[in-house]
A = this chain, B = another copy of it.
Amino acid sequence: MAGNSFGTLFSITTFGESHGKAIGVIIDGCPPNIDIDEDFIQSELDKRRPGQSKITTQRKESDTAQILSGVFEGKSTGTPIAILIPNEDQRSKDYSHIADKYRPSHADFTYQQKYGIRDYRGGGRSSARETAARVAAGAVAKLFLKKHGIEIFAHVSSVGPIEAPNLDTTDLNALLERRENNIARCADPATANEMIALIDEVRKAGDTIGGQVSTIVRHVPAGLGEPVFDKLHADLGKAMLSINAVHGFEYGSGFIGSQMRGSEHNDIFIKENDNVRTRTNFSGGIQGGISNGMDITFRTAFKPVATIMRDQETLNESGEATTITGKGRHDPCVVTRAVIIVEAMTALTLADHFLRNMAYTNER
């Protein structure tokens, strides 16, 4: 209720501050008998980890996941899976200079207003460090979905004004490989190079820049999603908007769809190899809030990171004007790491709706 949980049947609760002892997550509702591949969980965390390349923050965290419960002899037991990720490189002293200052476009001011107290070290709970816990839980969700043949692919589709061209999405695994071949995590190598150059330039200027992540989910069975409020795309949208720095979400035709006419936008049903498909997919695989079996497609927009290596005007807690100096270790462009968080939240949303749909299948 205090907003640190996500999902209803496949549900997670995260905890931990940027500069506390540890962060972590409890997964409640992971079905039993799922193979819990710890190496896979770790490999997912490694993709989100800080310090992995020259275009990410240089904070050093090994982000080593420890499974504390819910797994017996390599399989989930149906009981809560707790995963702990100790904090290692906190360097709290880095933050003493901002203890009583409100960093622009950060959550310092709003936390202080809401709670009357805040852990000012590294943003405390508002730090993107919290998302490591989501990635660990998302990896478990992916293992569950994989058993049911569902594939998830996300990549960086734009950095600032640089946009990737449309991809041939026939083979998502091939795209995934191409994505992992560059530090921008864009599946189009040429665009990736441009992105890396831009991020590097921005970093040297002590600045940051925004970007977008595009996602495809394949082999989702028809029927996932609940009508009215818990539409599949509404829950995916909430999942994305809950990620730090996200300012926009669209699925299928998205914002462009609002400029189209019904006669061009309608997806005509056809039969292909005995399967019902649609000729186009402006619906993004979701109709009336429920998956129709086509690829689910959506796009997530990230604002530029608020921490910049420049002096900025601001106020302190007493409301006096002051200056804040750019210091610390931060990301010039968050999307290259956020790709993994997007995939994790996508997996968690789908796992939850998969189970919700299961509850009623007896009578279908």
Q: How far is the CA of A23 from the CA of B247 in the complex (A)?
A: 34
Q: How far is the CA of A258 from the CA of B34 in the complex (A)?
A: 38
**Cβ of A210 to closest chain B Cβ, rounded Å:** 4
User: Known contacts A77-B124, A160-B259, A231-B241: does B287 contact A105 (CB below 8 Å)?
Assistant: yes
- The answer to whether A47 has its CB under 8 Å from any CB of chain B is no
Q: Which residue of B lies closest to A363 (CB)?
A: B31
User: Do the beta carbons of B227 and A82 come within 8 Å of each other?
Assistant: no
**Cβ of A311 to closest chain B Cβ, rounded Å:** 11
User: Do the beta carbons of B249 and A312 come within 8 Å of each other?
Assistant: no
Interfacial chain B residues near A126, Cβ < 8 Å: 227, 288-289
User: Do the beta carbons of B105 and A207 come within 8 Å of each other?
Assistant: no
Interfacial chain B residues near A6, Cβ < 8 Å: 229
Number of this chain's copies in the assembly equals 4
- The answer to whether A242 has its CB under 8 Å from any CB of chain B is yes
Chain A, range 113-155, C-beta contacts under 8 Å to B: 113-119, 123-126, 130, 147
- The answer to whether A321 has its CB under 8 Å from any CB of chain B is yes
Interfacial chain B residues near A197, Cβ < 8 Å: none
User: Do the beta carbons of A315 and B269 come within 8 Å of each other?
Assistant: yes
Interface string of A224-252 (1 = CB under 8 A from B): 01111111011101100110000111111
Q: How far is the CA of A84 from the CA of B84 in the complex (A)?
A: 10
Q: How far is the CA of A313 from the CA of B288 in the complex (A)?
A: 19
Of A38-46, A62-70, A177-185, the one touching chain B: A62-70
Tally of contact residues, A, Cβ under 8 A: 150
User: Known contacts A125-B79, A268-B314: does B28 contact A207 (CB below 8 Å)?
Assistant: no
User: Do the beta carbons of A11 and B1 come within 8 Å of each other?
Assistant: yes
User: Do the beta carbons of B242 and A315 come within 8 Å of each other?
Assistant: no
Q: Which residue of B lies closest to A209 (CB)?
A: B261
User: Do the beta carbons of B269 and A102 come within 8 Å of each other?
Assistant: yes
Interface string of A74-113 (1 = CB under 8 A from B): 0101111110100000000000000000101111011101
- The answer to whether A172 has its CB under 8 Å from any CB of chain B is no
User: Do the beta carbons of B228 and A242 come within 8 Å of each other?
Assistant: yes
Interfacial chain B residues near A230, Cβ < 8 Å: 2-3, 242
Q: How far is the CA of A315 from the CA of B113 in the complex (A)?
A: 43
User: Do the beta carbons of B32 and A4 come within 8 Å of each other?
Assistant: no
Identify the A interface with B (CB < 8 A): 1-9, 11, 13-17, 20-24, 26, 28-29, 31-34, 66-70, 72, 75, 77-82, 84, 102, 104-107, 109-111, 113-119, 123-126, 130, 147, 158, 160-161, 202, 207-212, 222-223, 225-231, 233-235, 237-238, 241-242, 247-255, 257-263, 265-271, 274, 276, 278, 282-284, 286-293, 301-308, 310, 312-315, 319, 321, 355-364
Listed by A's residue number, 8 A-B pairs whose Cβ atoms lie within 8 Å are A1-B9, A32-B117, A110-B289, A237-B237, A237-B238, A247-B252, A248-B258, A276-B319
